[in-house]
Structure 1
Amino acid sequence: MLNIKHSIKIFVCLLIAIFVSGCGANDGKYQIIYNGEQKKEQKNQNKSKEDFTIAIVPKVSGIPYFNAVEEGALEAGKDLNVNVLFEGPPIADWQQQRNIIEDFIQRDVDLIAVSANDPKKLGPVLQKAREKGIRVITWDSDTDANYRELFINMVDPENLGRHLMDNLASKMGEKGEYAIMTGSHAAATSSAWMSYIIKQQEEVYPEMKLVKVVETDDNPQKSYMGAQKLLKDYPNLQGILGSSSVGPPAAAQAVLDAGKTGKVTVTGLSTPNLMRTHLEDGSSQIITLWSPKKLGYLTVSLANDLLKGDKIKDGKHIGKVGNIKIKGDTVIMGLPIDFTRENIDQYDF
C-alpha cells in the first residue's frame, strides 16, 4: 500500500514538472499579469540594447519636417546601437496610422512612438500594443494620457502659442484681420497651440480680429488653395499664421502670387529650408520652429532609456539635444527658435 501511494506521489510530481517546463517554453518569453495588463518578460534579463527595436510613426511621411525627424531618429539609433524603424502614412490620416501600428505589433517591436493624428481614435490599437507588452510613447502630437507612458513635446504649448501670436502682432502693428492655417483640429498639439494663440490675441491685442481658421491636413496643395481663398474672401486680411510646417510656405507663395507682398504678413511654424526664399523675398517676415532632427534624436534616446529601465529626470542632459524639462508626464525638449532674413543662413534643416 505504501509503495502504491509512493508511486502516485512520484507520478503527480512528474506531471507538475512537465506542466511547469511546458509553460516556460514560449520562444524565450512568457506572460505575466501586472496592473491589469499582460506584459512580456524576458527570461534573459540581460537582453542587450542591440536587440531593442524602436518603431517611430510620424503624422505623415514625405514632408521636410518629418524627413528631418527621421534623420535624427536614425542617427540616434546608430549612436545608441538600437534598431529604429520609421514609417508614416502618405497623408495625415489616423486610420492609416492605425494600420502601420498594427503591422508593428505583428512585428513584435519593443516600443512604438507615435505622433498622433487623433488623440482618441488611435487609443484602441495603442492599448492593444501595450497588452502585448510593447511600450508606447507619443512625440510631436499627443494622445489621451491613458494610452501612453509619456509625451515628448518640442516646447511648452502655452509659451509657443503666445509667442506665435506675439510675432504676428508685432509685424501687423497689433491691429487688423488675421487668419490661422492649422494642420488638423483633431491633432491634440495643434489644437493646444491654437487655443493659446487665440487667447493671447484676445487678452493682449484687442484690435486684432480672427476671421477664419483653415484646416489643411498638412497637405501643401490644400494649404496653397486655402491661402488663395483667404486672400480672395477677406480683402482686408492683414496676416496669416500657419501652425503646421506646410502652411507658411503655401501662404507666402499665395501672397507673392497675388501681388500682396508687404501687405499681408505671413508667420508661423515651418522649417528654415522651406521658408528661406520667402524670408529673403519678403513674402514672409518671421518663422518659428525647433530642430525636428533633435526631436527625432530625443525620441529614440528616451525610448532607449525606458527600455533599459533608466529613470528620466528633469534637467537630464541628452547628447546632441541638450537639457530636457519634465512637466508631469510630458518631456519638453527646449525653447522655440525664430528665423528671419537676418539669421536664416545659420540654419540648414
Structure 2
Amino acid sequence: MKRFLSLALCASLAILSACNKSPESGSSNASGGKKLTIALMPKSKGNAYFISCKAGADEAAKELNVDLLFDGPTDPDPAKQNEIIENWTTLGVDVIAAACENKEGISTALKKARSKGIKVVTYDSDANPDARDFFVNQATPEGIAETLMDEAARLTDSEGEFAIITASLTAANMNEWRKHIEARLAEKYPKMKLVDTKPCDDLKDKAQAEATNLMSAYPNLKLIMAICSPAVPGAAEAVKQAGKTGAVKVIGLGLPSENRKYVHEGVTQSVVLWKTKDLGYLTIHAAADLANGQLKPGAKEYNAGRLGTLKIEGDSIVLGKPFIFNKDNIDQFDF
C-alpha cells in the first residue's frame, strides 16, 4: 500500500508540473503538444554556402526551441536527397525544408511526405509547387540574373565573350537563373556573347579545371560568370594561375569569406549574394510557423523574427534583393 501511495503521489506531482509549465519553455506543433522536429536538407552538406545557411538555421532553432535535423548528400546527388527524404518521412518529422538539386526528381518524394501529414518548405532551389507549401526564396530569379548580367556588362564595357560555370546542368534554381541571364543578354547587350556553359558538380577543383579549359578554348574570353559558390574561387584560381588577372574578369554567386583574397588581389571583381545565414534563419522560422498554423496560404506578408516583415509573392517568401560585394565593402562581412 505504501508503494502504491508513493507512486500515485509521484504521478500527481508530474501532472501538476506539466500543467504549470510555462508556454515559453518549448515550441509546439499544430496539434499543440510535442516539440517540433524540422529536417533541413542542403544540396551538399560540405558546401560552405549551406554550412553558412545552417548557422542561421541553428540560430532560429535555438530561438524557437525546435529540434533541427541536418543531413544531405556529400556531393550534389538527387537520388541521395530522395533517399534521405524517404527516411525522414518514415521517421515522421514535422517539417521538411529542402534545397532541391533536381526539381522533378525530388518532387515525388516530397509529395509523399505531404501525404503523410508532413509540412514541406523549399529554400534556395525550389521543387514543383504541388510538392511543397512555401518556397523560401533568397531573391527573385530575375533579380539575381539581372544583377549578374548587368555587372558582367559593366566590367566588359558591354561587349565580348563570356562563359558560365554552374553547379550542374540539372540544378533547378541555376537553370532558372541562366534562363533569365540569357533573356537579359538578348534584351540589353547585343555585343556580348555567351560562348559556353560548363558544370563543376559544386566542386572548386573541377571549377578551376573547367575555367582553365574555357580560357584555352576561347582565347578572347573576357569574363567568367560562376553561378555556384565553389565555382567562384575555383575560376579565380584558374585565372590567377594562367596569369590573366584583370584580362579575364571573374564574377559570381559566392561567399565573401571564400573570395576575399581574390577580390583584394584584383582577380575577382564582384561577388553577388545574399546573407546566407539569414536564408537559413528564415527557412526555420517559416517551417515552424507553417507547422504551428501561423503561416497560412494566401498571406501577403510574414514576420520572421529579427528579419522583421518580409513580402510573400504568391507562395514564395522573399528574403530580399541580391547584394554586390567588392573591394570597397567585402571586409565588412564575415560569412
TM-score when normalising by structure 2: 0.88
Structure number with the bigger relative contact order (C-alpha 8 A, sep ≥ 6) is 2
- Identity level (%): 40
* 1:295-340: CA deviation from partner (whole Å, max 9, x where unpaired): 0000000011111101354343322324321111111111111100
Residue 67 (str. 1) matches residue 75 (str. 2): no
Q: Does the 8 A contact of 1:89 with 1:97 survive in 2? A: yes
Which of residues 258, 261, 275 is equivalent to 1:277? 261
- The offset of 1:43, in angstroms, is 12
CA RMSD of aligned residues (A): 1.6
Gaps of 5+ in 2: 1-27
What code does the residue aligned with 1:159 have? Answer: G
Counterpart residue number, 1:335: 321
SS of match in other structure, 2:121: strand
- State how far apart, in whole Å, the 1-side matches of 2:313 and 2:29 are: 34
Which of residues 136, 143, 162 is equivalent to 2:146? 162
Which of residues 133, 139, 158 is equivalent to 2:117? 133
- State how far apart, in whole Å, the 2-side matches of 1:57 and 1:168 are: 32
- The offset of 1:124, in angstroms, is 2.1
Q: Displaced runs of 4+ in structure 1, greater than 3 A? A: 42-45
Cα 1:311–1:258 shift into 2, 3 Å? same
Residue 237 (str. 1) matches residue 221 (str. 2): yes
SS of match in other structure, 2:68: strand
- State how far apart, in whole Å, the 2-side matches of 1:43 and 1:139 are: 21
- The offset of 1:45, in angstroms, is 3.6
Q: Does the 8 A contact of 2:29 with 2:36 survive in 1? A: no
- State how far apart, in whole Å, the 2-side matches of 1:113 and 1:206 are: 40
Q: Which moved more, 1:65-74 or 1:182-191?
A: 182-191
What code does the residue aligned with 2:327 have? Answer: R
- State how far apart, in whole Å, the 2-side matches of 1:286 and 1:226 are: 20
Which of residues 128, 134, 137 is equivalent to 1:150? 134
Q: Does the 8 A contact of 2:249 with 2:269 survive in 1? A: yes
SS of match in other structure, 1:193: helix
Residue 84 (str. 1) matches residue 56 (str. 2): no
Counterpart residue number, 1:263: 247
- The offset of 1:185, in angstroms, is 2.4
Q: Which has the larger radius of gyration?
A: 1
- The offset of 1:218, in angstroms, is 1.1
SS of match in other structure, 1:90: coil
Residue 290 (str. 1) matches residue 274 (str. 2): yes
* 1:190-228: CA deviation from partner (whole Å, max 9, x where unpaired): 111111111111111111111001111212121111111
- State how far apart, in whole Å, the 2-side matches of 1:320 and 1:263 are: 42
* 1:218-247: CA deviation from partner (whole Å, max 9, x where unpaired): 121211111111011111100000111111
Gaps of 5+ in 1: 1-41
- State how far apart, in whole Å, the 2-side matches of 1:328 and 1:178 are: 34
